Structure 1
């Protein structure tokens, strides 16, 4: 009999064992299955947990039993998961504390690949659907961190560039356009054809070059293009290298997020527009590894890009740029007066300069800020330009009449933290006791210190879950650390003192 054809041995009290013991000569002493069984000290087959099977079956019968506490109780599965979560948050929270000169007035055009390659399902449900979902979150975060900036969206599909939303400073306008695109992607805007980088770059360049109305304002804003590229090639009608040279001449910077692999023409375009050495790895060109990495690369584009030494020298030669801005006053379209016991509401006609009188249908879709009054043609809250006295309905924006940039003081304050970022908190090492017991921000109770006599290897794998401000010496948890550096941008301990 062949080695692999021998009988399976069970327990000593089972009928199968009594039958097999009656004919011991028929079984080989050193078969394949006999060699793979786990044996005890006396050479007997082990009966670990009653399995009495192969060695790997006995060892990994219940894999969750492997995760156990060590002697000090600090290496539990819960502590391990907590350490992984904190390491993940620390990786996401990249806070450069060095103050750089940045262009906080940004104009960003997002180019989305809508070719046939975006119908792949390696990203669920499809590449295009996931991209549109992440872009909606990106638009909200972008305008929250860059309130005096503007954004536009272009879709490259079937060899041409389609305008999804014009350059505007209203986040709701872009979110509505992305939702419309997502709702109609299965019929009118389904992924189709080949992408054309040249046509898309030319359209984005035209949007960026004439976005502020006047030539003086056009030279003081940072012009950027973000391309979400899922294909491995581009189908262009002309020479794309001339288009790249035009982008360099107009000081337009390009960033690329690849969904498949790195493409040579995209690498060359990123290196040229960002003044980097040729064929060198760039932080402005990333290829995703998974869905969470895709979101990380997208959110990294929220922070304004620092100016290069070449750009700083050019600005020094021209002098410090002075940007003219206006802080408009709020207008009330109605006035209530009382005569006797009767209240009268007087409505004044208001002309709105934000609504264009000519142009494409896309430019006429302006999102309006409505008041609590019943919606009518005159119940729209307005803001009066201090220079030409014309009325606009949303801020921040550029006055359509005189070209003055209209913002609020809060918009300027929210953009200042990019120039002077908050210093990162220092992680407190693991020790048996600490000075603080609760988080200064959320009053969450910190975990206790390690026990005396804990080995150094265990301590190195643990985290104290405490992060201390260098100035005020207050302790914060990892969630407050992320919130302070990514959203609040002010230390509560320093502000309280």
Structure 2
């Protein structure tokens, strides 16, 4: 009897080890799924590599969700934004649950976000604040140059000490209260820590931010924190927690398009703008923004004739907002966005002939329901497009080629 019991115990232990090993293997596969990205590729009959059906559907769902959040009609949006990104570079940013650590992942995603932000908001300004050793300091001023922010961030990769949410909000509040009244004041916090070490009452700071009409949003990298959620609820922001690196990047890019203006703060006003001319090459002048002597290039303020290096910006001498006409044209699509394309599942009529090629790139389109890809149709002009053209039209072109080429739709 004892031998049998021992034998049964040994068998049960082996089964338990097998189950435990299976669970550990599944957990390992989930954790390292992004490292084995080659498994998502398949080769078709012509030798072209493409994503398998599962990853295609996942990519399309993420894109559709982001598109539906952006495309909304009859919503007033703040096109002139003044945004401060607050990065938590405390010791919690050195955790390795995000590979290689949270700080590196945040830096890479912020670089992509900065470029996307200025592509979506050419009239806006952005600055970076870093929390380290319980102290918040401004890394870059509010400006419209993405390269200056990316370069400054790449030279300050260090995490240490505690995190202080109150110090960061106080610093951002001090700078954002100085901007013009027509600008939309926003704060985006990328928070890694599970606590905050504050010198005073953080609730008073939150009320101060609310009174200053600052929209504060938080993207957490660890877990949900009450004080961050309370901050977002009081100021009208969005609070979310990232599950992994790809999810964190998606959550971050959702803040790139201009958000709907808060009803009580959506006050329409006229903004004085100047359209400076490009300076002649070879002319020596003093730059008003950097206080340096430069040769050629730059722009001349039409009011005070001061020179600035880049647009958009505010003249450092007379305070006039300086923009170019392409900046205004690129901001126009937020007011009248392109409607989301609909997936073509089959023929709407029995004798209907579906087009074989994409209206945009003239590449062959898959049949409805095919595993290779999807075909989409514009709800207005009924032209068919591939998935790549759909992304290009909604994220870069902001005009449907089928609607623009149709005289009846264009005239209406």
Q: What TM-score do you get using the length of structure 1 for normalisation?
A: 0.68
* Equivalent residues in 2 for 1:5-404, closer than 5 Å: 78-79=52-53, 82-94=56-68, 95-182=70-157, 185=158, 191-211=159-179, 218-274=180-236, 284-312=238-266, 315=267, 320-334=268-282, 348-356=283-291, 377-404=293-320
- TM-superposition CA deviations, 1:65-91 (whole Å, max 9, x none): xxxxxxxxxxxx955554444344434
Higher helix share: 2
SS at 2:189's partner residue?
strand
Distance 1:167 1:78, change over 3 A: closer
How far did 1:379 drift? 2.3
Rate the CA distance shift 1:197–1:494 in 2: closer, same or farther, 3 A: same
Q: Could you say which structure has the larger radius of gyration?
A: 1
Cα gap change, 1:407 to 1:78, in 2 (>3 Å): closer
1:465 aligns with 2:364: no
Q: Match of 2:286, SS?
A: coil
Q: State the match for 1:64 in structure 2.
A: none
- CA distance in 2: counterparts of 1:143 and 1:408, whole angstroms: 14
CA distance in 1, matches of 2:171, 2:305: 33
Provide the C-alpha distance between the structure 1 equivalents of 2:215 and 2:396, rounded to a whole number of angstroms.
26
Q: Indicate the SS of the match to 2:86.
A: strand
Please list the CA deviations of residues 116-166 of structure 1 after superposition, one character each: whole Å capped at 9, or x if unmatched.
111100001110111011111111111111111111101111111022111
Matches within 5 A, 1:482-497: 482-497=391-406
- Aligned residue pairs total 361
Q: Note the aligned Cα RMSD (angstroms).
A: 2.6
Q: Gaps spanning 5+ residues in structure 1: where?
A: 7-31, 37-76, 186-190, 212-217, 275-281, 335-347, 358-376, 451-458
In structure 2, the residue matched to 1:454 is none
Aligned to 2:357: 438
Are the aligned partners of 2:95 and 2:102 in contact in 1 as well (CA < 8 Å)? yes
Per the TM alignment, residue 464 of structure 1 is displaced from its structure 2 partner at its CA by 7.0
Structure 2: runs of 5 or more not aligned: 16-50, 407-412
Structure 1 residue matching 2:259: 3-state secondary structure: coil
Shift of 1:438: 0.8
